[in-house]
Structure 1
Amino acid sequence: MRGIMIQGTASDVGKSLIATAICRILANEGESVTPFKSQNMSNNSYITVDGNEIGRAQGIQAEAAKIEANVYMNPILLKPKSDQQSEIVLFGKAQTSLTGKSYRDNFYENGLQAIEESLKWLQSHYDWIIMEGAGSPVEMNLKSKELVNMKVAEMADVPVLLVADIDRGGVFASIIGTIELLEPHEKKRVKGILINKFRGDRTLFEDGIRWIENRTGIPVIGVVPYITHRIEGEDSLSLTNRFIPKCHSTIDIAIIHFPYISNYSDFEPFTYELDVSIRWVKSSDDFGNPDVVILPGTKSTIRDLQFLKTSGLEEEVLKFINEDGFLVGICGGFQMLGQTLIDEAGVDTGESMVQEKGLGILPIRTRFQINKMTERVKGILHPENKFLTSSKFDGFEIHLGQSEWLKEVEPLLLLEDGRVEGCIVNNGTIIGSYMHHLFHNDEWRNEWLNTVRNSKGLELKPVVPIHAGRDVSLDQLAEEVKSYLDWALLKKVMMSS
């Protein structure tokens, strides 16, 4: 099978972005191409059309490849739920939670089998494979049982493109250090080097390119600039890089930065609203005077609710509500707004019979179930809604908690399957919903933001087409990245596999 594995000198060097761009370049050339990442560690998920859960990056890469995402593109997904444990999602379904040591000791052979099965399936359905590694391929303490870098490149028998981030500094040391720590047979697999996130005049780096090529004997296939793009991030390191506060914005959105925050891609559309600035709030000292407060999704709702209380942020949020501030709770954040959270089986906390008092803002009670809800959903604004008019919605649900209403409130959505979902109360200032990517619905986001703008006496703004322009953004990304690559050489390298 023709293809390549994109490995990096470190996390967040741009592996996912480069892989996404190559998938779209090949797809635009009419090629049959699939993405693949054997093992992903992320709380940012993507729900496939059949209701399975994979890493968000591979879902976006499948869109770039112009195909439907499936579990073979990311057979193993690790979702951290504490400092010690991660939930194991195998072929799209949650299995169990393990410590890092237990995972290495007991899961390795199962992981190899899952990878072999996935590669066999993908090889029978596509002509090209664009693989992505994780972190660095030379984490020496983990290398003997790694399931995501050189071991997998060998299993697929594809060459490796090594990506280095020049923006963080130390690019020469990171490249040479990585290559020198590889085993001799692994070095032979590295057929190209890519310098990413370059700023300034490229001609000033020509001597650097020659030095790298002379020192390693490996061609530098491209020097890609720091690209501003609309492709969602996945690595936790990308969170602060993507959501940079704007100096001259007029709407201040404070998002509580929970220790186990998940699916923060929910809020990426706000980064393209010119008058909106996002702040990540970790303590009461950071709270300030926001116009909007958002409680995001979380992989451990009760633990993060306890963090909200011990950090002093609960008091700030309740005070904000009493002053009629705009508040949104998504998934776990929605659950926190209720009266009580009950974890009898320990699926949320890892401990049985845990019960936690919620913020008491909404009349709901949440019980955590063993079976996880993972589903794409569509719907309309509920006909009884009095506050907003935007009608069509699509997104996805991922949650273990099931919430019951203790009394009737104003509903938010009516889903295609007939379920009433979420609520909008307190004269439209408080919203709770299980729907991830609620704000990716452009007309809805615009109307909701305009209610915030109107409350501040600001000028109303037109719709910013983020979700609708995703395919165009992928084409633009592919075109820009390709212009900085020696594409003929890279394609030759990929065809040699």
Structure 2
Amino acid sequence: MKTNTLMVQGTTSDAGKSALVTALCRYYQRRGIKVAPFKPQNMALNSAVTVDGGEIGRAQAVQAAACGLEPHTDMNPVLLKPNSDQTAQVIVHGKALKNLSAVQYHTYKKQAQRAVLESYQRLIGQYQKVIVEGAGSPAEINLRDGDIANMGFAETVDCPVILIADIDRGGVFAHIVGTLELLSESERDRVVGFVINRFRGDPALLQPGLDWLEQKTGKPVLAVLPYLPDFYLEAEDSLAGKLHNKQEPGQFKIIVPVWPRISNHTDFDPLLLHAGLSVELLKQPPPQGGADLLILPGSKSVRDDLGWLRQNGWQDFINRHLRYGGKVLGICGGYQMLGKQIHDPHGMEGAPGSSAGLGLLDIETTLLTEKCLKRTTGIFHLDQSAVSGYEIHMGRTSGADTGRPLMQLAGQDEGARSADDQVIGAYLHGLFDLPEACDSILTWAGCRQRNAVDLKSLREQGINQITDALERCFDFSMLEKALEGRFIKQERTVC
């Protein structure tokens, strides 16, 4: 097997694949090895703009940072962004190609595989080691035919696989053994060992299970990684850890509606990590009480999510919020919703047509066939503070309120402000990432605490934290023996 390529697959979604790949990337980077991340196929609504002007999954952008690299479209050649329960936008080599149903995409997979292998060959030609992340689980029987995301890729390029499972979910031994049972013989043979993730408790209680697992499978447990309660890395797609209330009396309160196709919710990480804020990400408007700031997030299907917003009582909540003097910010799709009309003449996000917006800004948006993808910097017109971020959208917005722009990016005015200054919006994602930009928005909204977090610094701390845990707990000598087919049971350290 090719030992310059190592693939991480999970027994379930959210087992810790992204974090383990990130840690392995930083581990090899610390040792002066030229290493790059790779995810053949990703399905996520959190994405990042690359140095070559494309779009990839956000987890691969974090993994690139762990390697000391700028993110590149070869690191995630196929990205699927769901825009309904039945269809997804297919992005290949960073560019949106078309919307396909699941059945249509299954037919398209041979073309997608060519793109995957082209990117992989370029990476393997430039780097000494490539760390590959699988998607979901390799034991999803209905997806095995034509698979390019898990074992189908591993078999094609002949690379070894580490299988990771999350003990915090429960049933970790059943997950591992059951996954192996559902693999073919050749696929099982390329699994060189296991990583058990998020362990907490007395290590002595786990040891009998590890002994049984190694005896049952003939494969080593390469690491038992600890549960890290304060660990931060940007999520690939899951909102599970964010749907909570973080409230203390007297705190400045922010509410974010969570509609079905919310995108790039990592925009709100700096707010969730801000000690002086109460932040709620809610699917339903609160039955009582209000907020100081309401933020409408991005959306992969703006007109549909706007309909959902109305059906679930959010429009009445927004109107009441404004009557009581609250502020409203719209980001990307949320910005488009704030206008008078949203037009989709080409059916880019669903059936062609138009929808009435919330009418809170004097603007209209037309969705175009070309997607805007760019990273950019500039200043807020609010207080001349610095701002940076990225744009990912297919709309062009115009109207009277754009004459009161929110910011200037690369020398061009961007965004809009209402005449009464209660409502603002812009296309820029990541606008809270710089502490001074976060402080600027919060000050506009009425918050007097200027102690925003430095997200870039926190991301770097998270990468180092998980890598330090990996170095303590991962048996790299055992990995080498397993790669050579020389696994011999021995004592290990459970962290």
User: Structure 2 vs 1, CA of residues 112 and 495 (structure 1 numbering), >3 Å: closer, same or farther?
Assistant: farther
Q: Does 1:185 align with 2:168?
A: no
Letter in 2 for 1:46: A
User: Structure 2 vs 1, CA of residues 19 and 291 (structure 1 numbering), >3 Å: closer, same or farther?
Assistant: same
* Alpha-carbon distance, 1:348 to partner: 2.1
Alignment deviations for residues 83-133 of structure 1 (CA, whole Å, 9 cap, x no partner): 1000000111000000001110x2121022112211111111001010001
Letter in 2 for 1:413: M
Letter in 1 for 2:178: G
| CA RMSD of superposed structures (Å) | 1.9
1:254·1:287 contact (CA, 8 Å) conserved in 2?
no
Once the two structures are superposed, the pairs formed by residues 90-109 of structure 1 within 5 Å of their partners are 90-104=92-106, 106-109=107-110
Alignment deviations for residues 382-427 of structure 1 (CA, whole Å, 9 cap, x no partner): 3xx4xx34x21110001011101235543211111x2101134466
Q: Alignment partner of 2:406: what SS?
A: strand
- Give the Cα separation in 1 of the matches to 2:257 and 2:342: 19
Q: Alignment partner of 1:230: what SS?
A: coil
- Give the Cα separation in 1 of the matches to 2:449 and 2:421: 17
User: Structure 2 vs 1, CA of residues 427 and 116 (structure 1 numbering), >3 Å: closer, same or farther?
Assistant: same
Once the two structures are superposed, the pairs formed by residues 111-122 of structure 1 within 5 Å of their partners are 111-122=112-123
Report which stretch shifted further, 363-372 or 286-295. Answer: 286-295
* Alpha-carbon distance, 1:33 to partner: 0.4
* Alpha-carbon distance, 1:137 to partner: 0.2
In structure 2, the partner of 1:487 is 476
In structure 2, the partner of 1:381 is 380
User: Structure 2 vs 1, CA of residues 495 and 49 (structure 1 numbering), >3 Å: closer, same or farther?
Assistant: farther
- Give the Cα separation in 2 of the matches to 1:376 and 1:470: 18
Q: Alignment partner of 1:370: what SS?
A: strand
In structure 2, the partner of 1:465 is 454
In structure 2, the partner of 1:333 is 334
* Alpha-carbon distance, 1:452 to partner: 4.7
User: Structure 2 vs 1, CA of residues 180 and 380 (structure 1 numbering), >3 Å: closer, same or farther?
Assistant: same
Alignment deviations for residues 339-398 of structure 1 (CA, whole Å, 9 cap, x no partner): 11111111122x12x11111010111100100111111111123xx4xx34x21110001
User: Structure 2 vs 1, CA of residues 287 and 482 (structure 1 numbering), >3 Å: closer, same or farther?
Assistant: farther
User: Structure 2 vs 1, CA of residues 437 and 486 (structure 1 numbering), >3 Å: closer, same or farther?
Assistant: same
In structure 1, the partner of 2:386 is 392
- Give the Cα separation in 2 of the matches to 1:276 and 1:374: 31
- Give the Cα separation in 2 of the matches to 1:284 and 1:91: 39
In structure 2, the partner of 1:125 is 126
Report which stretch shifted further, 138-147 or 399-408. Answer: 399-408
User: Structure 2 vs 1, CA of residues 271 and 285 (structure 1 numbering), >3 Å: closer, same or farther?
Assistant: closer
In structure 1, the partner of 2:248 is 248
- Give the Cα separation in 2 of the matches to 1:37 and 1:307: 32
Alignment deviations for residues 169-189 of structure 1 (CA, whole Å, 9 cap, x no partner): 111111111011111111111
Letter in 2 for 1:348: E
In structure 2, the partner of 1:209 is 210
Q: Does 1:292 align with 2:287?
A: no
* Alpha-carbon distance, 1:242 to partner: 4.0
1:281·1:287 contact (CA, 8 Å) conserved in 2?
no
* Alpha-carbon distance, 1:153 to partner: 1.0
Equivalent residue in structure 1 for 2:80, among 78, 81, 86:
78
User: Structure 2 vs 1, CA of residues 214 and 277 (structure 1 numbering), >3 Å: closer, same or farther?
Assistant: farther
1:36·1:72 contact (CA, 8 Å) conserved in 2?
yes
Alignment deviations for residues 49-101 of structure 1 (CA, whole Å, 9 cap, x no partner): 12101111111111111112211111100000011000000111000000001
Equivalent residue in structure 2 for 1:21, among 13, 20, 23:
23
User: Structure 2 vs 1, CA of residues 270 and 407 (structure 1 numbering), >3 Å: closer, same or farther?
Assistant: closer
- Give the Cα separation in 2 of the matches to 1:243 and 1:485: 32
User: Structure 2 vs 1, CA of residues 325 and 78 (structure 1 numbering), >3 Å: closer, same or farther?
Assistant: same
- Give the Cα separation in 2 of the matches to 1:122 and 1:150: 19
Alignment deviations for residues 300-343 of structure 1 (CA, whole Å, 9 cap, x no partner): 11110111111111111122112221211100000000011111
Instruction: Number of aligned residue pairs: give it.
Output: 481
Q: Which runs of no fewer than 5 residues in structure 2 stay unpaired?
A: 486-495
